[in-house]
């Protein structure tokens, strides 16, 4: 049932090829795994989305598209999975990344820079953000990619295990239904 539900919302190949904005990159978007809902593709899409979700700002969706194409995983799922980061969750996740870096490096947990960011204009936000992140020291620079990798691996295996559990449950239901109807097991 979930597959049928999502198929209504996933664009067809013709829709992508006819869209004037996507026409220049349509040849990259023709890969079947980018749109199919199967265990490996969805698990990979979740992993890519969770990894890219920790990338600052609007770059996370672009990175999710690029990595989905590179690894040939489900693109809509990857884009959807990046949405776990938002203005309410990003600061706790960055603090967790910092603490993870402190733990891995064996440092004390003293923040070396104020958490507040200065007012930034749309065209020059990336460099000050990178300087601010680097000013947190090695702990943050080490902890952020480690947290992204950890979330991606956990998400990948959670989807794989959940998918397998759901399939096993459906098979068991089907077997019980056949037994009740007098069919072969």
In this predicted structure, what is the pLDDT of residue 57?
Answer: 74
Kindly state the average pLDDT of the residues 134-162.
90
Query: Which residue bears the tokens 């989905």?
Result: 68
Model pLDDT for residues 149-180, shown as the tens digit of each residue: 999 999 999 999 999 999 999 999 999 988 88
Give the pLDDT mean for 4-17.
65
Q: How many CB atoms lie within 10 A of CB 100?
A: 19
Which residues contact residue 93 at a Cβ distance below 8 angstroms, ignoring those fewer than 6 apart? 54, 85, 147
Cα separations in angstroms, 161 against 66, 167, 175: 26, 10, 21
For the four alpha carbons of 128, 133, 138 and 142, in that order, the dihedral sign comes to: negative
The confidence score (pLDDT) of residue 115 equals 46
Lowest model confidence (mean pLDDT) among 23-32, 94-103, 132-141? 23-32
Query: Which of 45-59, 102-116, 122-136 shows the highest mean pLDDT?
Result: 45-59
Question: Is pLDDT at 1 greater than 70 in this prediction?
Answer: no
For the segment 71-100, the average pLDDT, to the nearest whole number, is 89
Phi-psi group of 32: left, alpha or beta (phi > 0 → left; psi -120 to 50 → alpha; rest → beta): alpha
Domain extents in the chain: 31-180
Q: What is the pTM of this model?
A: 0.74
Average pLDDT over residues 25-34: 68
CA distances for 82 relative to 50, 109, 137, angstroms: 6, 28, 25
């Amino acid at each position: 049932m979930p597959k049928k539900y999502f198929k209504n919302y996933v664009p067809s190949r013709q829709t992508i090829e006819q869209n004037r904005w996507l026409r220049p990159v349509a040849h990259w978007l023709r890969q079947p795994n980018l749109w199919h809902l199967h265990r490996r593709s969805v698990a990979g899409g979740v992993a890519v989305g969770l990894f890219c979700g920790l990338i600052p700002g609007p770059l996370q969706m672009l990175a999710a598209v690029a990595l989905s194409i590179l690894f040939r995983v489900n693109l809509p799922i990857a884009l959807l999975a990046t949405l776990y980061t938002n203005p309410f969750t990003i600061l706790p996740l960055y603090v967790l990344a910092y603490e993870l870096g402190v733990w891995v490096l064996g440092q004390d947990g003293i923040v070396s820079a104020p958490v507040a960011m200065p007012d930034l204009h749309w065209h020059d936000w990336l460099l000050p953000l990178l300087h601010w992140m680097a000013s947190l020291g090695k702990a943050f620079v080490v902890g952020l990619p480690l947290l992204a990798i950890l979330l991606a691996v956990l998400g990948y295996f959670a989807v794989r295990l959940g998918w397998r559990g759901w399939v096993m449950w459906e098979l068991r239901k089907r077997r019980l239904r056949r037994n009740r109807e007098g069919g072969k097991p």
